[in-house]
Structure 1
Amino acid sequence: MRRFIGRDRELTVLRTAFQAVQDAAGSAKPGQCILMRGRRRVGKSSLVEEFLRRTETPSLFFTAAGGTAEDELAELLDAATRSTLPGRELFAEEAPAQWNAAFRLLAEVLPDDRPSVVVIDEVPYLMDRIDAFEGMLQRAWDRLFSRKPVLLLLVGSDLSMMEALNSYDRPFHQRGREMVVGPLNPVDIGEMLDLEPAAAFDATLITGGLPLICAEWRPGADLWEFLRDSLDNPISALLVSAERSLAAEFPPQAMSGEVLRAIGTGERTFTNIARAAGGISHTTLTRATDVLTAKGVVAAELPLSLRPSKERRYRVTDPYLRFWLAFLDPHMAEIERGRGDLTLSRIRERWTSWRGRAIEPLVRESLARLLPDGVLPAAPAIGGYWTRSNDVEIDLVGADRQPVAKELLFLGSVKWLGSAPFDNHDLAALQKHRAAITDEPVPLVAVSRNGVSCSGLQATYGPDELLGAWRRT
């Protein structure tokens, strides 16, 4: 069995909450609640399982499946009878027929003299299918669970619904602390797969840091070996994870899926997305992009500069989903009939140019974590700049705020193509674009996969430095 990699920060948060429960045992309300959210297949359940394994405390782990209220209750009772809670046999004897009664019985079997953990996974299904579930949960917490030394973990993949659970106008407001579980970071991926820094960033762009996909990557294998193996396996996590996530989040009749595919294949402007999605109306597209941005699947970004702009552009936020939509989804029929070699050849042809743009959001996030570093100041906002015609395009804009800044802190270019270093030609282009948006001598920065061969830059960063930003977490 492959060892558990990363998640040190998340495990520390859970251990700290558990310790708080333990320290408060005997007080009036020792219970603690954490609202854990993260995209599907990001490893939330595995994280909780690892925490329970290390804690070795009485626990119940129930996962909702999207069934009827009666079916979900039956599954809860079954999970309770198979739990490690003392007195769990009461669930087999009494079998409550209502959720309120099930919560009361659960509170009865929670130990008074030592901490326990109760996990309810995929809470949004219960919020959606069970009438007044949030109100019943709130009453059970206030009157029962919070009075026991229990850590209640409410876990969910629908980010917007999990955020709503704790919003001010909902019954469970301020009952729990929010915890976001993201994908494995580039450092974790590099360690797990035994990859050098540049290759670790490549793996991040392909896997998105999803543990299930990373687990299928043989340590030390390069990306082409991994892609060949995955494309030869029709049930590989690389192929099926996105499809399952999209099916869960967007029903077949939802236009959001079509719009997402248009964005994923490279369309970034409103007009081009509408055309690629089949010529849908302005209203329909607006509704679809609102859904996608609310769910955090798509980012709608404006140019970052000293002047306002309406040139909004859209991108898929998850690197793996972006890769899947660009290279795999359009050719699933080809892969399923055993011709993954054709798909692999197509990826090879487009990989360098696709990677050059796909890496930009990851570079921006890396710099946001890295700065200040003694050369550049901390930048409250790091984005990009473009015009409608793209005659001026700047990969990195550091500023005091976004999207309209009062002060530009630095401007930069990302060169992640092929094996060529950032050279005088690239510097001249960056200087020309700087002159188009400001007369000030704003510091210039280069981020290059293959080094820098010119002078005149205030700061330079390569894969090693960017990876260092993630080691701080």
Structure 2
Amino acid sequence: MFVGRRSELAMMQRRYRRQGYECVVLYGRRRVGKTALIREFIRDKEAIFFTGMETTAQENLDSFSQCIYDFQGGHGTAPVYPDFQAAFDAVTGLAETRKLVLVIDEFPYLAKSYPGISSLLQVQIDHVWKDRDIYLILCGSSMSFMEKQVLGHQSPLFGRRTAQLKLQPFTIFEAQEFFPDMEPEKLAVLYGLTGGIPLYLGQMSRDATIDEDVMENFLDPMAYLFEEPSNLLKQEVREPATYNAIIQAVATGSTKVSQIATKTGLETSACVVYLKNLIGLGIIKKEYPFGESHSRKSIYLLKDSMFRFWYRFIPTHYSQIQNGMAEVAWQRIKPHLPDFMGQVFEDICLQWLWRENAGGRLPFVFDDAGRWWGGDPRTHKQTELDIVAGNAEGELLFGECKWRNELVDQDVLELLLYRGGLFQALRKEYMIFAKRGFSERCLREAAGNEHIHLVTFAQMMHR
């Protein structure tokens, strides 16, 4: 069953309804659902679907020839075209009498086996397909390749696309479509465990408890997700052991290059290169304090919360898991789950803010949002804010996110007001997000100030 991706499908459908040539470049990290999106899009259309393989140019040509042959209703093994130019000419012929979708999935693999394919496509587009009713989709998981070799200024294909789509993991609101009747708190934990990746969400059970889902999917040596991060890295990088060490260092609290270098025993300059590659894979992100995009206070965090969970907890319990002690491992991991969920909840709160912002349901429309950390000039200590959102007009919103079973009390609100006082702004709004709710004292204080907004997780998930 296909779930979500309404806006992405709508964009692709709008392009399809146009007459003439279209080229959509679709990319995103592995397992995010690119191929599923394409298959849903072409379900009711005439389409040739070819997947590039990590093999020779000849084998890719053989496969492409077979795809064209199958589209024409051929049976058995296809006659192979002498070269890709001849194959593209055949596609042109098929598009003379119909609107035709041509999908080249895993385009980076094809380009690696045949480096001239981008230039060949450029010529084909410029001299033939731009006057045909052809809808070309170029899809790939190597984000650095797609951004540089397909979308980049130096690429032969630069300027040939009519749209591009970087597919992101699901938000929690899209994940809710997987489990429409699930209790929100359980959904939030499953969302954190899977990082919003559709394939991983599909591994989770609607009926199992959190304990059962974790033990069946992460703490079972035969489970798909038990080896998934390692398998994913082996597909993408040449030195998986080094990347494993870096990811684990970040997952366990090393967020600065110097800390990561010390933890892994690598040179700082080497760390920077590895981190850049991990950013390109969508596993790690480089974050700056809100409003300080050129600050030297940047830190590295795991962008993918499934990787965050796996690298924080699985390696340290690996021997127990391999020896059938999943229950013991889980009892040691479980007390740390609320702390793990803290960052997940911050991500969820940001998603909610962006959604409400787009709908015009906030006190003002903000342009950017993120975390902030820095020095407090009054105490001369480091402090931080979970969320700061603002705009060019000088309006700021400060947010605090609390994933805990206890009701949020007045002290949390007072601290948020104090930290907001460290900023100069024409207008300030304060928002606290709570897993369970707020104490009577907190509610009373907020009731007397129109700039204070208290939001429960249940309210966030209700719309």
TM-score band, normalised by the shorter chain? Answer: 0.7 to 0.9
- 1:437-473 CA deviation, whole Å, 9 max, x = no partner? 55987332101111122044411222244336xx7xx
SS of 1:443's partner is strand
**What code does the residue aligned with 1:461 have?**
V
Contact 2:69–2:78, Cα closer than 8 Å, also in 1: yes
Determine if the alignment matches structure 1 residue 68 to structure 2 residue 62.
no
CA distance in 2, matches of 1:348, 1:390: 32
Residue equivalent to 1:224:
211
Residue equivalent to 1:241:
228
Name which of 48, 52, 58 aligns with 2:46. 58
1:129 Cα deviation after fit: 2.9
Name which of 349, 352, 356 aligns with 1:366. 352
Determine if the alignment matches structure 1 residue 44 to structure 2 residue 34.
yes
Change over 3 Å in CA distance of 1:43–1:307 after alignment to 2: closer
**What code does the residue aligned with 1:46 have?**
A
Change over 3 Å in CA distance of 1:356–1:390 after alignment to 2: farther
Runs of 4+ in 1 over 6 A off after TM superposition: none
Residue equivalent to 1:103:
88
1:353 Cα deviation after fit: 1.1
Name which of 154, 161, 167 aligns with 1:169. 154
1:323 Cα deviation after fit: 1.9
1:135 Cα deviation after fit: 0.4
Residue equivalent to 1:27:
none
Instruction: Give the % identical residues.
Output: 24
Instruction: Count how many residue pairs are aligned between Structure 1 and Structure 2.
Output: 447
**What code does the residue aligned with 2:258 have?**
T
Alignment of 1:140-159 (within 5 A): 140-159=124-143
Residue equivalent to 2:449:
none
Residue equivalent to 1:385:
372
1:134 Cα deviation after fit: 1.0
- 1:43-94 CA deviation, whole Å, 9 max, x = no partner? 11112222222x1x33221111211222222222233333x246x579823x
CA distance in 2, matches of 1:394, 1:188: 27
Change over 3 Å in CA distance of 1:281–1:266 after alignment to 2: same
* TM-score, normalised with respect to structure 1: 0.86
SS of 1:92's partner is coil
Change over 3 Å in CA distance of 1:437–1:129 after alignment to 2: same
| Structure 1: gaps spanning 5 or more residues | 25-29
SS of 2:206's partner is coil
Name which of 5, 14, 22 aligns with 2:3. 5
Change over 3 Å in CA distance of 1:232–1:412 after alignment to 2: closer
- 1:318-370 CA deviation, whole Å, 9 max, x = no partner? 22222222223444454333332233223202101111133223322321221
Name which of 54, 70, 78 aligns with 2:66. 78
Alignment RMSD, CA only? 2.8
Name which of 403, 414, 425 aligns with 2:411. 425
SS of 1:387's partner is strand
1:127 Cα deviation after fit: 2.4
Residue equivalent to 1:138:
122
Determine if the alignment matches structure 1 residue 398 to structure 2 residue 356.
no
SS of 1:378's partner is coil
Change over 3 Å in CA distance of 1:415–1:236 after alignment to 2: same
* TM-score, normalised with respect to structure 2: 0.87
1:259 Cα deviation after fit: 2.0
Name which of 188, 208, 212 aligns with 2:199. 212
Change over 3 Å in CA distance of 1:413–1:225 after alignment to 2: same
Contact 1:305–1:408, Cα closer than 8 Å, also in 2: no
Determine if the alignment matches structure 1 residue 338 to structure 2 residue 324.
yes
**What code does the residue aligned with 2:155 have?**
R
1:423 Cα deviation after fit: 0.8
- 1:393-438 CA deviation, whole Å, 9 max, x = no partner? 211112226xxxx835122211112x11221121222233334455
Residue equivalent to 2:22:
32
Change over 3 Å in CA distance of 1:76–1:135 after alignment to 2: same
1:269 Cα deviation after fit: 2.1
SS of 2:411's partner is helix
Name which of 256, 259, 274 aligns with 2:261. 274
Greater shift, 283-292 or 230-239, is seen at 230-239
CA distance in 2, matches of 1:300, 1:218: 33
